[in-house]
Structure 1
Amino acid sequence: MEKIALITDTTADLTEEIIEEYNINILPFRIIYKDREYKDKIEITPQEVYDNFKVEVPTSSLPSMQDTEELFTKLEEEGYTHAIIITLSTGLSGIYNGVKLVSENHPKITSHVMDSKAISWGEGALAHKCGELIKEGKDFNTIIDELYKFRQKIQVFFVVGTLEYLKRGGRIGKVSGTIGELLNIKPIIVVDNNDGKYCTYDKVRGRKQSLNRMFEIVENKLKETKCSIYVMHGDALEESTKIYEKLSKLENASKVVMGGAISPVSGVHSGPGLVGIVLIEES
């Protein structure tokens, strides 16, 4: 009989309630300052990262090989026969390859590493769905097939306060913004479903207009199909709350969830001022 473990990482932004309900194993990214490093979400909060920007902008690193090895060893000892690992987009991180390497050291567990091609609740929604399917008693291969179908229904949109942090961290992807910054052009950024990198969906002038345009994009999408919506933020609670309230009034929104603050490591790369929306098409 299959005993399936579920693993994801801290950028999935799952709530403690979901993690506990579906027994999800979380691999923490690392946030690195000159004098020490922290485990993402475990030893440092998003606000602590933003508050310290004026002193130092940290770098980040993958979950440690030791943490990953210890997790797989623990799962073996607990009798797990299979594992599904859902990672941050390979277009944004090398975690997929790192976890795959460790999983191959543990042949007693049949593992499948899945590239979410997303971040935050785009990744988290996949992990949540996987948890539900495991709980329903679906078999390993069926779950994997259903997850890849589900991944096609997810879209991640966001705006940032400045492109400076994405550029600094090398996460700018296909978003061009050097001249745009001078003209106060604000891109609405989407995570490309093909390669999982950031690209420009649309662009407008000014912060207020960028938030309004992102709302319009979602509003138009909901005219075509029913969707679940998750709203996240990076040091932009007030603005994200306003957009959440507006989205909650739209027809065809099957549910609108305030997803809260993105993980500290995501905040390192996006900087303060992120407002994000994840759309999940209903089948």
Structure 2
Amino acid sequence: MEKIAIITDSTCDLPKAEIDKYNIKVARLKVKYSDREYTDGIDITPEEIYARLDKEIPTTSTPTLGEIDNLFKEVIAENYTHAIVIPISSGLSGTMNNFRLVADGYDEIETFVFDSRALSRAVGFLLTKVGDMIAEGKSFKEITSEIPKLRENMELYFTVDSLEHLIKGGRIGRISGSLGQLLNLKPIVSMDEEGKYYTVDKVRGSKQAFNKLVNFGLEQLNNHKCRIMVMHANVPESAQKLYDAFKDHPNLTSIELGTLSAVAGVHSGPTLFAFVYMRE
């Protein structure tokens, strides 16, 4: 009889209740300052990072091979026969490659490692869908064939009021970023086929950026039943407004509001707000 484990990393931003509900195993990324290393979601919060950004911008690192190896030993000890691993996009982090390296060393458990080409609660949507399918009694083969279809029905969009931290983190080009700041251009960003950030559009000013995000969401809701997750990095007012713009739509099947992980906050800075939709 199959027993299927779900494994991910700490940037999925799922609340503890959902991690516990599906017994999801989490490998945690690290946040590194000059004087200390922190573990994402354990001993540092996004708010603490934002408060220190004017003094030092930390670096981040993937879970180590040893830490991931310990997760695999844990699921094997719990008599899991199969594992489904969905981490942050390989276009943004080396975490997925570390998972693959470790998984290849274990013949006693059959593992499916999927490149989400996403981050944060977009990954979380995939994980909870997998958890629901396991609860429904679907087989490993059925679930792994369904995951790519789920990803095709999902998209993430975000904007930032300041490009400073995306520029410093190398997430966008310094020249285009500097010009954008000079002209007060706000990018609308999504994920490309390689799981990297790309600019969908650029608009003048924060109000236009907000309206553009709303329009992207309503375009989907007007034509499909959708789940939506709204996220932010230290801008709860903007996120609440975005949430309010969607919450009463008749095609909305569920909507939640949450915050980005500490690791994601390092790269985005404290002005990002976003939403992810999944067509039902």
Question: Shorter-chain TM-score: which interval?
Answer: over 0.9
Matches within 5 A, 1:115-264: 115-172=115-172, 176-192=176-192, 194-258=193-257, 260-264=258-262
Deviation beyond 6 Å, 4+ runs, structure 1? none
Deviation, structure 1 residue 208: 1.8
Deviation, structure 1 residue 180: 1.7
CA distance in structure 2 between the aligned counterparts of 1:143 and 1:172, rounded to whole angstroms: 35
Residues 1:75 and 2:75 aligned together: yes
Query: 1:110-166 CA deviation, whole Å, 9 max, x = no partner?
Result: 111111111111111001111111111211111101111111001000011222212
Secondary structure at the aligned position of 1:177 is classed as helix
Secondary structure at the aligned position of 2:35 is classed as coil
Any gaps of 5 or more consecutive residues in structure 1? none
Partner of 1:49: 49
Deviates more, 1:246-255 or 1:10-19: 246-255
8 Å Cα contact 2:85/2:114 also seen in 1: yes
Over the matched positions of the two proteins, sequence identity in percent amounts to 44
8 Å Cα contact 1:161/1:274 also seen in 2: yes
Query: 1:223-268 CA deviation, whole Å, 9 max, x = no partner?
Result: 222211110000111110111112112232222211x110000000
8 Å Cα contact 1:229/1:255 also seen in 2: yes
TM-score, length of structure 2 as denominator length: 0.96
What letter is aligned with 2:85? Answer: I
CA distance in structure 2 between the aligned counterparts of 1:77 and 1:177, rounded to whole angstroms: 49
Secondary structure at the aligned position of 2:93 is classed as coil
Secondary structure at the aligned position of 1:138 is classed as coil
Q: Residue 222 and residue 176 in structure 1: after superposition, are their counterparts in 2 closer, same or farther (change >3 A)?
A: farther
Partner of 1:266: 264
CA distance in structure 2 between the aligned counterparts of 1:176 and 1:107, rounded to whole angstroms: 47
Secondary structure at the aligned position of 2:129 is classed as helix
Which of 270, 276, 279 pairs up with 2:277?
Answer: 279
8 Å Cα contact 1:11/1:266 also seen in 2: yes
CA distance in structure 2 between the aligned counterparts of 1:176 and 1:231, rounded to whole angstroms: 27
8 Å Cα contact 1:161/1:271 also seen in 2: no
Partner of 1:88: 88
Partner of 2:14: 14
What letter is aligned with 2:8? Answer: T
CA distance in structure 2 between the aligned counterparts of 1:141 and 1:252, rounded to whole angstroms: 31
RMSD over aligned Cα atoms: 1.6
Secondary structure at the aligned position of 1:35 is classed as coil
Deviates more, 1:221-230 or 1:236-245: 221-230
Partner of 1:63: 63
CA distance in structure 1 between the aligned counterparts of 2:148 and 2:212, rounded to whole angstroms: 29
What letter is aligned with 1:198? Answer: Y
Aligned residues: 280
CA distance in structure 2 between the aligned counterparts of 1:6 and 1:255, rounded to whole angstroms: 23
Deviation, structure 1 residue 89: 0.7
TM-score, length of structure 1 as denominator length: 0.95
CA distance in structure 2 between the aligned counterparts of 1:157 and 1:108, rounded to whole angstroms: 39
Deviation, structure 1 residue 176: 4.1
Deviates more, 1:16-25 or 1:102-111: 102-111
What letter is aligned with 1:41? Answer: G
Residues 1:114 and 2:108 aligned together: no
Deviation, structure 1 residue 171: 2.3
Deviation, structure 1 residue 170: 2.3
Secondary structure at the aligned position of 2:219 is classed as helix
CA distance in structure 1 between the aligned counterparts of 2:171 and 2:201, rounded to whole angstroms: 18
What letter is aligned with 1:277? Answer: F
CA distance in structure 1 between the aligned counterparts of 2:10 and 2:222, rounded to whole angstroms: 33
8 Å Cα contact 2:167/2:177 also seen in 1: no
8 Å Cα contact 1:3/1:82 also seen in 2: yes
